[in-house]
Amino acid sequence: MARIFVSYNRKNINFCKQLTDELQKRDLDLWVDWEDIPPTVDWLKEIEKGVEEADTFLPIVSKEWISSRNCIIELEYAVKNGKRLIPVVPYEIVWDDVPSDLAHLNFIFFTEKFDFNAQLDKLFTALDTDYEWLKTHRRLQVKALEWERANKENGFLLRGQDLEDAEQQISVNANKDPFPTDIQREYVLKSRQESTKQRRITTGILIALVVVMLGIIGLLAQPYVADAIARAQARQQSPTIMVPAGPVTFEVGSTQNTADVGAFTIEAHWVTNQAYALCTKVSKCIPPIGSSEFTDPNKQDEAVVWVTIVQAAAYCEWLGRRLPKTTEWERATRQFANSPKETDRFVFSDHYEWTSSYQTGQDAQKITGDWNGQFDTLEQTWTLLQRGGELIGKDVNIYSNTSGALASTDNTGFRCAEK
């Protein structure tokens, strides 16, 4: 079952043995340094390996543990690797001394005023919660660290079903403890970028071989025809508005900015489930992860959600379009949300929409740049900007949100633009 890293101070060894004996009776797999580190092995490397391969970090928090630099090193490495933390307390401690990484958590008390067996049941319940996600998190972290230590060689990246499973798990569990780590997100993003690149190369080679070896171009015509028809249908379902060049005033963080925007067109409505499905049917788009409404026949005119910015950009590229910049999105809303002509009216949805604009570093008051929509240029460290809005009488109320490159939620959709 779960692999648990037990962190303790030697002065609490009696309690540690009592607790670990109970855990082992449940066939729980433990990592405790009195058994697992040979005398000749580098201590820190073995500790790091033990933490990396564990599902859960279980510190026995005593005054001796708090004052031990070695124990704090173990905690810091567990936090760095995104491990779930389940702290236990053997006796009363000074709470002001507890490390900040633990202070906000629910502790399990084994002090004298608590029944040992009742608290043990609480510990078992905590260890069993979200066990499948814990296993996935641990396995993904180990693979990501192997990739990092191999100088990020492509041979260590995820492929096929492993990659799809990892993308789904990170998306579904994005807000669940243990949280996906930065190295996991970067690893999965780079895996998708390399997979897309290899797929394009492989597709090109296969097409060339078929043409050269068989000389029957007609065999290749059918998928292209189906793709062209689907693309034409999607474009017909997504009419655009022509937005003239001009200035726009917009906010980033708490700062008001002004920019000049060139002429462009933008879709009047958000991308619907029906339109996005046309792209998935010809295998140019990946179906939304986690959406129960995508295939619902009664929800086809509603906005497609649970799409990452990568999926949104792929759809827009398929149509010969692109994601709008934040400045373009805001100029279009302010110009056409109140348009008396229905065909020129910018229609708001009840969710946020992806834009191509992003921020880097700690400055949340400005836009760093605009992503070109190509997978191999997207950085996991970027903060992507989203926009939403509503029409209140004749006034346009715009609100903003930010998100990571791999995020997808039930409140995020998109629309496309083009020059």
Q: Strand 352-359 relative to strand 369-370: parallel, antiparallel, unpaired?
A: antiparallel
The DSSP letter of residue 392 is E
The span from the CA of 111 to the CA of 90, in Å, is: 5
The DSSP letter of residue 228 is H
User: Among the residues of 114-178, which ranges form H helices?
Assistant: 116-128, 131-149, 160-172
Write out the H or E segment, with its range, that includes residue 207.
helix 182-214
CA distances from 315 to 57, 272, 287, 302, 341 (A): 41, 12, 11, 16, 28
pLDDT in tens, 212-244: 665 555 555 567 888 999 999 999 999 999 999
Q: Is the pTM of this model over 0.85?
A: no
pLDDT in tens, 341-365: 888 899 998 899 999 999 998 778 8
Amino acid at site 12: N
CA distances from 178 to 86, 93, 152, 339, 369 (A): 11, 26, 24, 47, 31
| Percent with pLDDT over 70 in the chain | 95
DSSP calls for 26-71: TT-EEE-HHHH--TTS-HHHHHHHHHHT-SEEEEB--HHHHT-HHH
Chosen CATH of 3-129 out of 3.40.50.300, 3.40.50.970, 3.40.50.10140, 1.10.10.10: 3.40.50.10140
φ, ψ for residue 406, nearest 5 deg: -100, 5
Nearest Cα neighbor of 288 from 377, 198, 351 is: 351
Write out the H or E segment, with its range, that includes residue 311.
helix 309-318
Domain 225-418 has CATH 3.90.1580.10: yes
The span from the CA of 206 to the CA of 202, in Å, is: 6
The answer on pLDDT for 287 being more than 80 is yes
Q: Where are the domains of the chain?
A: 3-129, 135-203, 225-418
The answer on pLDDT for 141 being more than 60 is yes
pLDDT in tens, 69-104: 999 999 999 999 999 999 999 999 999 999 999 998
pLDDT attached to residue 216:
54
- Most confident option among 31-40, 126-135, 224-233, 300-309: 300-309
